[in-house]
């Protein structure tokens, strides 16, 4: 039995905040609740008040008074100015001020640099600050998410027994929570999680497009295919599971498949863009994830797409017939290998950030806590857990096992699929970027030597030689 911290305050009763509060109460905590819109607090108590020890507070003063020092306050408010606003109020209000030894937890999707800034400010005042990524969506927040707490280690370890009660199991007897690292490490890892999520969702969407546009498959057949894939050791994941279910849902108004009445402009909340920016700043290539962010942005340019669709010449589409079974197998191989590339890009970015920031991230632990509860949970993460584990022999064997997936027929199917998609005019930005990523890593020599020559020609930037060390400049006009 875990030793449980019995009181926590939750500020923000949106979907995630409300479900985390219910989760905490169901696991034995006394939960004090506050939301700026008091109607939402009242509605929450009316609907869920019998689920546990839930105490509503209609003012921030009442909220803070109900918490016994040293307090633990969990924020679930919109990232950015809203977090700064509530932190400022909690620091400056005469009637509801945070005190030294209190712990403040930001469990929203804050930018990791903002988390670092807030942590330094609060540390100077003796207040412990935790920046905690939470993944699992509405259901996971209630039934058991994956949690990625970073910041003040002592504060995290003090509440770790209770966080373990709240989180999902990892499939091997552990819980999907671990101390990530100091500063903004927790929110950085959550940002990378979301970037990987962007990539895998785009890959799945492209595979759906290929199956429907080229494979001429009906939605019910696509549902069956994804259901089969979701039960496999290679593609088993939460995202393939829900994809299979999506294709079986009907629209009650029209009677059509729901997927066919949904507009094709995808939304985003910014974490994918943040990951792209972080990767550029750290000098790490994440082409699959970059392509997925670009694809969402381009999908949202509906006016531009509508105008150019009428003006651009039609694609010169090949008319060769394809075998349904062979084609589906090629899509499966391309999806598997591209998903591996997506995870690889995210883990490489975390490894570089850990080195630059001095976070000492344990990437095997990150893979472990993503095996349950979170949106990108998948069977493949068990292999990554071993590949980034501390046992050298086990890690080498796991890496070899992962690399072996790129050999033989799967790679051939991946390449042929990209060519076929190009011939048929079906865009595959993430699938293609993944193949480009793979080929760039395996090539002995890339053509950027020409770029270095051009840069030296017009800007005297210099270059490195292949035959001896140092920086050199050529006389290009001699």
Residues annotated as catalytic are 190, 197
Q: For residues 155 and 169, give the distance between their C-alpha atoms in angstroms, rounded to a whole number.
A: 22
219's tokens: 């939605």
Q: For residues 139 and 132, give the distance between their C-alpha atoms in angstroms, rounded to a whole number.
A: 18
- Tell me the pairing of strands 72-75 and 7-11: parallel
Segment (H or E) for 81 = helix 81-92
Distance of CA 352 to the CA centre of its chain: 17
Helix residue spans in 324-404 (DSSP H): 324-357, 363-369, 380-387, 392-404
Q: Which of 305, 303, 304, 274 lies closest to 290, judged by CA?
A: 274
Supply φ then ψ for residue 219, to 5 degrees.
-55, -40
Return the SS3 of 132: strand
57's tokens: 């507070």
Q: For residues 279 and 43, give the distance between their C-alpha atoms in angstroms, rounded to a whole number.
A: 42
425's tokens: 């005019």
DSSP secondary structure letters along 385-416: HHHTSS-HHHHHHHHHHHHHTTSTHHHHHHHH
Q: For residues 466 and 254, give the distance between their C-alpha atoms in angstroms, rounded to a whole number.
A: 65
Strands (E), 262-307: none
Distance of CA 319 to the CA centre of its chain: 38
Q: Is the Cβ–Cβ distance between 30 and 95 less than 8 Å?
A: no
Q: For residues 35 and 39, give the distance between their C-alpha atoms in angstroms, rounded to a whole number.
A: 8
CA angle 88, 90, 96 (to 5 degrees): 145
Segment (H or E) for 148 = strand 146-151
Q: Is the Cβ–Cβ distance between 191 and 116 less than 8 Å?
A: no
Q: What are the residues whose beta carbons fall under 8 Å from the beta carbon of 219, sequence distance 6 or more?
A: 212, 247, 248, 257, 259, 260
The DSSP output letter for 371 is S
């Amino acid at each position: 039995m875990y030793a449980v911290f019995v009181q926590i305050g939750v500020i923000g009763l949106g979907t995630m905040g409300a479900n985390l509060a219910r989760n905490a109460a169901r696991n034995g905590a006394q939960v004090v609740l506050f939301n700026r819109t008091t109607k939402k607090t009242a509605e929450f108590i009316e609907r869920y008040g019998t689920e546990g020890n839930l105490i509503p507070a209609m003012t921030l003063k009442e909220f803070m008074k109900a918490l016994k020092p040293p307090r633990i306050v969990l924020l679930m408010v919109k990232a950015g100015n809203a977090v700064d606003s509530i932190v400022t109020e909690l620091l400056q209000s005469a009637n509801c001020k945070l005190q030294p030894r209190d712990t403040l937890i930001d469990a929203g999707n804050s930018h990791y640099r903002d988390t670092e800034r807030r942590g330094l400010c609060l540390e100077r005042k003796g207040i412990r600050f935790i920046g905690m990524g939470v993944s699992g969506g509405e259901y996971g927040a209630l039934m058991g998410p994956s949690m990625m707490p970073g910041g003040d280690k002592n504060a995290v370890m003090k509440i770790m027994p209770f966080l373990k009660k709240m989180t999902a199991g990892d499939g091997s007897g552990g819980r999907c929570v671990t101390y990530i690292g100091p500063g903004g490490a927790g929110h950085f890892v959550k940002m990378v999680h979301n970037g990987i999520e962007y990539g895998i969702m785009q890959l799945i969407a492209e595979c759906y497009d290929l199956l429907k546009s080229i494979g001429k498959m009906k939605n019910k057949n696509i549902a069956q295919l994804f259901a089969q894939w979701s039960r496999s050791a290679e593609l088993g994941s939460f995202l393939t599971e829900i994809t299979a279910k999506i294709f079986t849902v009907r629209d009650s108004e029209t009677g059509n498949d729901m997927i066919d009445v949904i507009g094709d402009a995808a939304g985003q909340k910014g974490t994918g863009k943040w990951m792209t920016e972080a990767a550029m700043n750290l000098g790490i290539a994440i082409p699959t994830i970059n392509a997925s962010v670009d694809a969402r942005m381009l999908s949202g340019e509906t006016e531009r797409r509508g105008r150019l669709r009428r003006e651009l010449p039609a694609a010169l589409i090949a008319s060769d017939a394809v075998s349904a079974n062979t084609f589906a197998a090629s899509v499966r191989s391309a999806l598997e290998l591209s998903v591996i590339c997506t995870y690889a890009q995210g883990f490489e970015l975390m490894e570089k950030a850990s080195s630059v920031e001095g976070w000492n991230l344990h990437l095997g632990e990150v893979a472990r806590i993503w095996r349950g509860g979170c949106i990108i949970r998948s069977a493949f993460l068990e292999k990554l857990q071993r590949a980034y584990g501390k046992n050298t022999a086990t890690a080498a064997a796991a890496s070899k096992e992962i690399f072996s997936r790129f050999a033989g027929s799967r790679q051939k199917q991946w390449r042929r699929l990209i060519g076929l998609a190009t011939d048929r005019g079906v865009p595959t930005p993430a699938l293609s970027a993944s193949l480009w990523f793979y080929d760039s890593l395996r090539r002995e020599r890339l053509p950027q030597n020409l770029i270095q020559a051009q840069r030296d020609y017009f800007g005297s930037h210099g270059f490195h030689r292949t035959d001896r060390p140092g920086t050199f400049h050529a006389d290009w006009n001699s």
